[in-house]
Amino acid sequence: MDQPMVSVIMAAHNAQRFLRQAMDSALGQTYQNIELIVVNDASTDDTQAIIDTYGDPRVVCLRNETNLHISASTNRGIAASHGAYIAILDSDDAWYPEKLQKQVDWLEAHPEDGACFTWVTVVDAAGKPWDEKQETLVSTFRQQNRPRLQWLHDLTLLGNRLCHPSVVYRREALEQCGPYDDSLAQLLDYEVYLRLLQHAGLHILCEPLMDYRRIHDKNNSNSAEHGAAKYRARNEWALVIADFVANYFTLKGDHIATDWVSKWLCMMADNSFWGKPWTAITYLFVHQRFWSVFANIVVLTVAGRIIYHYRGGRTFATTFFCSGLAGALSAFLFGMITPVFDPLCGASPAALGMFMAVVGYMPDYEVFFFPRQQRGFKLRYIAYIFVAIDLLGALSAQNIVNVANLGGELCGFLMLYLPKVTGGVKLKFKRPERKKHSSGSAQRPMTDEEYNRRRAENDRRIDEILDKISKSGYEKLTPEEKEFLFKSSNNR
């Protein structure tokens, strides 16, 4: 038998009611070069007996010893398939005879598309079409074609708009985006569509080419009308969207935005930099992996709060961007010595520069990672670990990111360490005198250090006054001491 062009995958669990109709619709296609792989997912009814009645050599049956559910069963069928195209058919639906022929013709003529869908006719258990005025699902699955970015926008914000049993995948596209997620029961197809659109386009044949059966059965755990299924679908949607955002808005994979972002926002450590000098800043806001984003946020939050508290917001912003520029400069100089082909992206030079600035300002500051931790970790020792990791990466693997990190760390450390040991170096410019319109004199706001010193002095004086009261009584206080005590009590 020749290798089949289309592999039809059908997962069946206790599907005796409509199984024969579904299988007949697949085998009765005008496009005959197919294989039908039915995965019997540990059925306890006559599903296997119905499958055994087919003597057609195109029918392949796989049996699960235990109930693996639809995602794992579909993945097993795909793994055993041989076709250049993979079609999905549910065990209670039915295709029209010309469906596969039209979809294969489209995919053969349009190699840029990774999947082809069709419109569907929503029917009930008896095969009667649903009233379009009463069922929004009918219009939901009758979508018009649109660009890939528009599809991603609509699917993420509006939910699924594509009918799973109408799809025919191009095998290469499905293998590139990966198998179905075994942990999903309701939105397994929706999650695959979001991954597929990051690599390839899709097309809808705008004509009904199958019957999509919708059964209001509260005993069916996969029925959308079932309360638990609705709750599960909402949870799955949240997980799918969170994972999609984590992957799409980083440079993971080669999705539609990657090439543009990498070319115009990431920094190259070669002569092409002079044509895109802005990348010395923009590279800080592009990341390759979700966990690198998370790690930078943690470091920036810890170091940034300390800098902002002790030195103010201006120092926070200056340290961030200066460390980022120092990282870009280090990477560029390294690229002039050793050829570097990977783009530089990520805020780690700026984040680590912020951290090293805190180390330079207060190296013995302790941080606590656990609720009942008795002694904190001194920042200087954590800094040693960061520097050692980047040194090893720069020397052994010649990693441009590690080189940039070292530049950012050095810059951040010196920015707050040098003013501390030199007493602060400030450039003074003579400004023209301004005419004062207000009678009152503006006061410079106190720094945290001045506030804490004044607070300690007030507390010391209050303690002295209270000791005097305990020994001699309130009457022995001077008028100034009484007034000071009165004001202090009101301020508190």
* Residue 436 within any structural domain of the chain: no
Which of the 8 DSSP states describes residue 327?
A: H
The C-alpha R_g of the chain, in whole angstroms, comes to 34
The answer on pLDDT for 440 being more than 60 is no
Closest CA to 309 of 446, 456, 455, 448: 448
Q: Picking from 231-240, 253-262, 340-349, 351-360, which range would have the lowest pLDDT averaged per residue?
A: 253-262
* Residue 287 within any structural domain of the chain: yes
Considering the domain architecture, whether residues 308 and 240 belong to the same structural domain is answered as: no
Considering the domain architecture, whether residues 276 and 311 belong to the same structural domain is answered as: yes
Rounded Cα distance between 149 and 145, Å, is 12
Chain segment 190-232, per-residue pLDDT in tens: 999 999 998 899 999 999 999 999 876 544 444 444 567 777 7
CATH of the domain at 269: 1.20.1540.10
Considering the domain architecture, whether residues 221 and 358 belong to the same structural domain is answered as: no
Pick from 406, 422, 438: which residue ends a domain?
422
The answer on pLDDT for 271 being more than 70 is yes
Which of the 8 DSSP states describes residue 430?
A: P
Mean pLDDT of 4-32: 94
The answer on pLDDT for 83 being more than 90 is yes
Indicate the pTM of the whole model.
Answer: 0.55
Considering the domain architecture, whether residues 94 and 203 belong to the same structural domain is answered as: yes
Rounded Cα distance between 204 and 145, Å, is 6
* Residue 450 within any structural domain of the chain: no
Rounded Cα distance between 122 and 130, Å, is 6
Considering the domain architecture, whether residues 206 and 241 belong to the same structural domain is answered as: yes
Considering the domain architecture, whether residues 282 and 244 belong to the same structural domain is answered as: no
- Which has the higher per-residue pLDDT, 239 or 358? 358
* Residue 429 within any structural domain of the chain: no
Pairing of strands 94-95, 85-88: unpaired
Q: Is 365 exposed, middle or buried (0-12, 13-18, 19+ CB in 10 A)?
A: middle
Position 442 scores a pLDDT of: 47
Position 452 scores a pLDDT of: 67
Order across the sheet with 168-170: list the strands. Answer: 59-64, 34-41, 6-12, 85-88, 168-170, 113-123, 201-213, 94-95
- Which has the higher per-residue pLDDT, 395 or 2? 395
- Which has the higher per-residue pLDDT, 361 or 62? 62
Q: What percent of the chain has pLDDT over 70?
A: 84
Considering the domain architecture, whether residues 55 and 112 belong to the same structural domain is answered as: yes
Closest CA to 103 of 34, 150, 149: 34
* Residue 28 within any structural domain of the chain: yes
Mean pLDDT of 324-330: 94
Domain that holds residue 464: 458-491
* Residue 433 within any structural domain of the chain: no
- Which has the higher per-residue pLDDT, 168 or 465? 168
Maximal C-alpha separation, the chain: 113
- Which has the higher per-residue pLDDT, 67 or 441? 67
* Residue 438 within any structural domain of the chain: no
* Residue 440 within any structural domain of the chain: no
Considering the domain architecture, whether residues 463 and 406 belong to the same structural domain is answered as: no
Element (H, E) at 232: helix 227-248
Considering the domain architecture, whether residues 23 and 50 belong to the same structural domain is answered as: yes
Position 278 scores a pLDDT of: 93
Pick from 222, 248, 274: which residue ends a domain?
248
CATH of the domain at 40: 3.90.550.10
Pairing of strands 377-378, 366-367: antiparallel
Considering the domain architecture, whether residues 225 and 99 belong to the same structural domain is answered as: yes
Mean pLDDT of 278-304: 85
The answer on pLDDT for 324 being more than 60 is yes
Chain segment 335-345, per-residue pLDDT in tens: 888 887 778 88
Structure tokens at 53: 């009645």
Number of folded domains that form the chain:
3
**Distances in whole angstroms, Cα of residue 173 to Cα of each of 158, 200, 340:** 24, 7, 31
Sort residue 444 into left (φ over 0), alpha (ψ -120 to 50) or beta. beta
Considering the domain architecture, whether residues 408 and 486 belong to the same structural domain is answered as: no
CB 51 within 8 A of CB 38: yes
Position 135 scores a pLDDT of: 61
Considering the domain architecture, whether residues 19 and 144 belong to the same structural domain is answered as: yes
